[in-house]
Amino acid sequence: MEIILKKTIDTLGREGDIVNVKPGYARNYLIPRQMAVPVNKATLARLKREQQAIADRLAREKKEAETMAARLEGKVVDITRRVGDEDRLFGSVTTSDIAGRLEELGVTVDRRAIVLADPIKNIGETRVSVKVGYQMTAEIIVQVVPEDMAGKETEKATGAEEEE
């Protein structure tokens, strides 16, 4: 069944694309959720009228995604956690933790946009991808620091200042 996409769907295509899908998928999922409309003369005419507006919207989304990718690319996110034996974390670092820390740094990212195969359970650096939209991703570095080490570093810094 041929349909016209009203929204960009990662697995199918961009807004305004005409795609061929199974009839059940179109009737039971895409059309009821206002994500697509069936192809006929009226919808094709409407698509032709709206092509420029769709192109402008997609260009704006692409520019916003590029701006967000530039802000995020190479950003280092430090997260402090308690550590047990063999440098294993008590608990783990999840996408919510990373999104919260990014928020503190002034960058708002939805936690579902952070691609993390498994929660981080060890200290050290981990490269994490963030979906910024328009099928673009940016890579950030998540640095998990032991809580004790972070405290000792500040003690050393203050102790060194007192000795001078």
Beta strands in 60-155 (DSSP E): 76-81, 88-93, 114-115, 120-122, 124-133, 136-146
The helix/strand/coil state of 112 is helix
The helix/strand/coil state of 78 is strand
CA 158 to chain CA mean position, Å: 38
Give me the pLDDT at residue 158, please: 44
**Where do you find CATH 3.40.5.10 in the chain?**
2-58
Place of tokens 């199974």: 22
Between 158 and 139, whose confidence is greater?
139
Give me the pLDDT at residue 105, please: 87
Asked if residue 33 lies in contact with residue 12, where contact means CB atoms within 8 angstroms, the answer is no
Q: Among 64-68, 74-78, 127-131, 132-136, name the one with the lowest average pLDDT.
A: 132-136
In Å, what is the CA distance from 148 to each residue of 78, 82, 161? 14, 7, 20
Residue 118 DSSP one-character state: S
Query: Is 2-58 in CATH node 3.30.9.10?
Result: no
Q: What is the CATH number of domain 71-149?
A: 3.10.430.100
**% of the chain residues with pLDDT over 70:** 90
Residue range 47-75: mean pLDDT, rounded: 89
Place of tokens 């929660």: 119
The torsion angles phi and psi of 141, rounded to 5 degrees, stand at: -110, 120
Give me the pLDDT at residue 149, please: 56
* pLDDT tens digits for range 97-137: 999 999 998 888 899 999 998 888 888 899 999 998 877 88
**Where do you find CATH 3.10.430.100 in the chain?**
71-149
Query: Which one, of 79, 149, 73, lies nearest residue 119 by Cα?
Result: 79
